[in-house]
Structure 1
Amino acid sequence: MEKIIKRDSGKIIITIGNLLKLGSHLIEFDVFSKSQVELEMSGYDNWDGGTYSFSMFCRVPIELYSKVQNEIPELEETIKNKAQHVFKSYERCWVGQVLITPQIDNLPLRKIFQISNEDLLLALEQQKNLMVSVSTGGPKIQLVNGEYVQRNKTIEEGFAERNIKNTIVFADLWRWHGKWSDGSLPAYRDRREFLAQLFDPIIECVRKIPSESTPVIFEEPTGWNRVDRSMREIRARLALAETEEQFQGIGLLCRETLMSLAQAVFVKEKHTILDGTDVSNTDAKRMLEAFIACELSGASNEVARKMAKASVDLANTLTHRRTADFRLAAFSAEVTNSVVNVFSILEGRRDPS
């Protein structure tokens, strides 16, 4: 049986994925479809003619794994349930376990630099071009020296965080003038060649340094389980939605997310409802506005208070529209995500650990 399962593993995996998708298990489908899935026989029992148990290993990209790691047991159980349906087609075979693990990454760690590789390379090219220009009949030094000195600070900072020795020894353009006018670089061509030999090896060195783009701010979970799960569901649905009804469903889910957020942050004894209404626990707008008024009180927070309230108002308006298409659904999702992040910041859930 092991050979048969191995032979059919591709079809089995596709069928499980389709069952998850058609069953609206969209987070599970997202995880499963992006995983490296393997089936391995993990046990044999000779009772009743012999039964074979298999383990399913889902190795998930580490970025996705970090977002769902708090829900791994539930995801594994749902996938296992769908797999059992498929395995009914194979006599005396069953799925003993589904294990979701992060993919092992053999790529070198990429550092996040304060000054990106792109910005550092641009600064180096601009500095080189300026030095060529002033030494070959271009602008007067006194007009551009400040620009050179300021850019040199950026270059030095970029070199420092990469542990690159700075071989550009000219702290300002007057020192560069001293070099080219001492007789060692009499012709324009000599000066260009000198600067090429000075800059080109450093530029090539920077190009070879792996770097990571600065990540999207606060993409990680907030710790409010219902809110986090809703946001993942919104992203998954948005990726698959095609009909007006499906886009409307995203709007409804955004509204439910705001309700969950309001219920997570609102404390009746602390956050006074602004118009004095006795609100229910589904009145997200009033609860969130009360939270804002309390946590961002005072004249110094007036602008921040207006921004937070405007985000809530916009999200509330968008999620109550009856018509829907991709743009409206995507806009609603993005605004809802923004509101969630604003409130998680105010609650201290984004503070450095």
Structure 2
Amino acid sequence: MPPSSRRPAARTARGTVGVSWEAVELAPVILVSGAEALLADRAVDRVVSLARAADPDVEVTRLDAGEYAAGTLGVVTSPSLFAEDKVVVVDGLERAGEELIDDVTAYLAAPPGDVVLVVRHAGGQRGKKLLDALRASGAPTVACDVIKSDADKSAFVSAELRRAGRRADGQAVRALVDAVGSDLRELASSCAQLVADTTGLIGPDVVERYYGGRIEATGFRVADAAVAGQSGQAVALLRHALATGVDPVPIVAALAAKLRVLAKVAAVRGRGAGAVRDLGLAPWQTDRAMSDLRRWTPEGLASAISAVAQADAEVKGEGRDPRFAVERAVLRVAGAVGA
């Protein structure tokens, strides 16, 4: 961005596509795309921070696409009396009307040299024509897709801790994801709390101390105990989870997910480490599955999968008592160990 002596770096950044929020650099136009709001916020904050590092007096303007009035972009990006650099952030492109789409499209033809325009789009097909135009212009795209899988959440936790100069072992990362992994902001906040309140390598005992009650109320702890053949503990954890408001459906889903991982690893474990890596699982997942499979036979695994499939149908409407259905499934899974 401006002054003009900084333009070569911006031009280099224009050719970058699909960068992460922590790698985005200043460019005349930047597209932040994806529904993961935390990552999108971080991308915008990084751009603003870089602009302020280059010019402490930079003017930052935020526009809401849903409230946009025709011509506003031209007004806020026009040269000012004191020639300040500018960052203009347009939020909610997926809510844009034709006025904003037309103005941004016209802007792309000749973006001013002293302005960084950041456009946020949270997903969906609305505004696709402008998205295509932004990408065709060479504007860098910051990918902020929703993080859904446990493996990706684990990678997120490890990266959060690494940026803070800290590390956690695999079990601790898994425990933290199990406890607070449903929301990325909460997961990031939990990482920050552990960094602030602890020292050294973060182990599972530390996570248990801070978030143990929440871990026990999740389906993952229930599934872990059931797959280990610990029927008493599994039922106790299940009843605690149900008593604290956990719905039977995600508990059955956790059981199913655990068994799917076992089935995947069991299908390829005789083919060497390369075949296991090709499954796309996190290392701790494959290590845990290999350990769990020592207690399982193919027949027992098939029986457990069948029991969970039945419970899945029952908790989604085919049965009259979802709580009974999930408890019966837990007992059947635990009973299938070694069978």
Per the normalisation by structure 1, the TM-score is 0.28
Higher RCO, Cα 8 Å, sep 6+:
2
Per the normalisation by structure 2, the TM-score is 0.28
